Structure 1
Amino acid sequence: MEIILSPSPNFDDRKHAVDMLVLHYTGMVTGQAAFDQLRNPEAKVSSHYLLWEDGRVDQMVAEDRRAWHAGVSSWQGDEDLNSRSIGIEIVNGGHDFPQADGTLPPYPAAQIDALIELCHPILAAHDIPQTRIVGHSDIAPLRKQDPGEHFPWVRLARAGIGIWPDTEGADVSGNGLSPGDSSANVRRMQEHLLRIGYGIDLTGTYDERTEAVVRAFQRRWLPERVNGSADTRTLRRIDAIHTLYTAD
């Protein structure tokens, strides 16, 4: 694929080896607005790549440099994720710029084809486990929603980029868990989410942070029900991903 060099001044030196891939949507009214923002020295944001709707790719920061895309975030106990990751911004208005009917703007097939083609050499060049291919909302659940519940994670997983479960997970009794609950079952859910990678406190209470993390989990793994409440299907899916992510 052809990659256009469009350097951004917004980068510095890495402190860690690359072991993560972080996917974003731009969340701006146009791709050009995002392109300009990512190269604006006053904005202090950047990414390694910008992927347009028609599949064009701009490289803005070299992969051996630290782009400024993740912000305050964590995954699997690690912080300073900018130092550990390759960041790809995908042109899409997302939640801030939905379509006229209120639905989220789709990711065109040509764009996702190009994303898959771009990701394969990145994964080949760096030691990035499948469990460390994430969306921005995974690593910053209180702040971010991208790349959104409309992002085709299943298609990427079928192309060898990330994981998708084959099963719903173990059966769960009862009616699930809800914000405000306090119990051993809430703590067990928090433990599973923590071991998957989410930044969550083991309080045993379904607090505001737990609700945000559950919503981020659903946005990634159960996009048809992004509500922050852990019904039985959500709990089964948490169990399935926990099993996949902690397998030897």
Structure 2
Amino acid sequence: MLRLLPKPKYYMNMEYNIPKDSNESIIIDYSHPSKNFNRRISSLVMHYTALDLEESLTALTGQFTGVSAHYLVPKTALDGARKVFNLVPDHKRSWHAGVSAWKNRTNLNDTSIGIEIVNLGYKDENGKRIWEPFTDYQIETIILLAKQIVQDYGIKPTNIVGHADIAPGRKQDPGPFFPWKKLYENGVGAFYDASELDLKQKINIDIEQLQKDLKTYGYPVNITGTLDIDTRNTLISFQMHFRPSNYSGEPDAETVAILKNLIKKYCMI
């Protein structure tokens, strides 16, 4: 049973004498900054638009489309200049990630910057999926833009990801033709060290441990101990990112070796 206590006398008699027409200004003192805070922006997410330039601009800026991104990278130079469209200011929350998770963070719209790249994605012909490559101009531009964003916000290499990484099974962009290795070689993002992979050693693949390792690196996968559809979709996203020559979703020895190398390189510091 709850018993309401009487209000203390000092509270009952409290009065505030605030002048109604005071023009006095306040002074904000910035001399005691706290160290207890987090950066809002902690990740950078790459997408393709699956549309041409004009359609992309319409979709990403239209009032009723419900989608946006911070930046849009065209296929070629415009008006003789290396132009990138800034559609949403960095400090504002764009709607590019949707239902998403990475490193135990959810709703990555809250904490990320989204880069959309003009690219049609893929088309299915005769039972085969044909992906559109990115242009050299786009990759050069993305590297320049990403370097600036990483410098501005201190984004960690493992937090530079694709839409497929943060929404496995739901999204596939930027797809297997996105050159993550080239970005890494130019100082953007994370990648494994091929020289350190031991592919001759036989590996007994433990699905539960594989799920734990994927989760350690950042992927939103449930630890079930079974090779379920969610785990396969997560493996497809991982393989598209780090081994695009084969993204079957099968948990093979090379996939395990790459993942182990990434964890050793980036997650055990």
How much does 1:23 deviate? Answer: 0.5
Paired residues of 2:119 and 2:132 also in contact (CA < 8 A): yes
Deviation at 1:127, TM superposition (A): 2.3
Shift of 1:33: 0.8
1:27 alignment partner AA: A
The offset of 1:247, in angstroms, is: 2.6
Q: Provide the residue aligned with 1:218 in structure 2.
A: 239
Q: Tell me the equivalent position of 2:62.
A: 40
Larger radius of gyration: 2
1:166-198 Cα offsets, whole Å, 9 max, x none, are 136455525x65xxxxxxx11110010000000
Residues in 1 aligned to 2:173 and 2:150: alpha-carbon distance in whole angstroms: 21
| Rounded Cα–Cα distance in structure 1 between residues aligned with 2:260 and 2:156 | 20
Say if 2:74 is the partner of 1:52: yes
Tell me, yes or no, if the aligned pair for 2:183 and 2:189 is still in contact at 8 Å.
yes
Residue in 2 that maps onto 1:111 = 138
Gaps of 5+ in 2: 1-37, 78-82
CA contact (8 A) 1:218 1:228 kept: yes
Q: What TM-score does the superposition give when structure 1 sets the normalisation length?
A: 0.85
* Letter of the 1:126 counterpart: Y
Match of 1:5 in 2: none
Offset from partner CA, 1:182-236 (integer Å, 9 cap, x none): xxx1111001000000001111111110010011100101100011101111111
Summarize deviations over 1:13-72 as a string: whole Å, max 9, x none.
xx96101000001112x1211111001111110000000001431110000000000000
1:151 aligned partner = 178
Name 2:27's counterpart in structure 1.
none
Residue correspondence of structure 1 range 172-191 to structure 2 within 5 A: 172-174=201-203, 185-191=206-212
**What residue identity is the alignment partner of 2:108?**
L
The count of corresponding residues between Structure 1 and Structure 2 is: 223
- In structure 2, the partner of 1:182 is none
Greater RCO (CA < 8 Å, at least 6 residues apart): 1
- Give the C-alpha shift of residue 105 in structure 1: 1.3
Please, which runs of 5 or more residues in structure 1 have no aligned partner? Answer: 1-14, 178-184
Task: Give deviations 1:50-99, integer Å, cap 9, x for gaps.
Answer: 0000143111000000000000000000012111001000011112588x
SS at match of 1:66: coil
Give the % identical residues.
35
Alpha carbons 2:123, 2:129 under 8 Å: kept? no
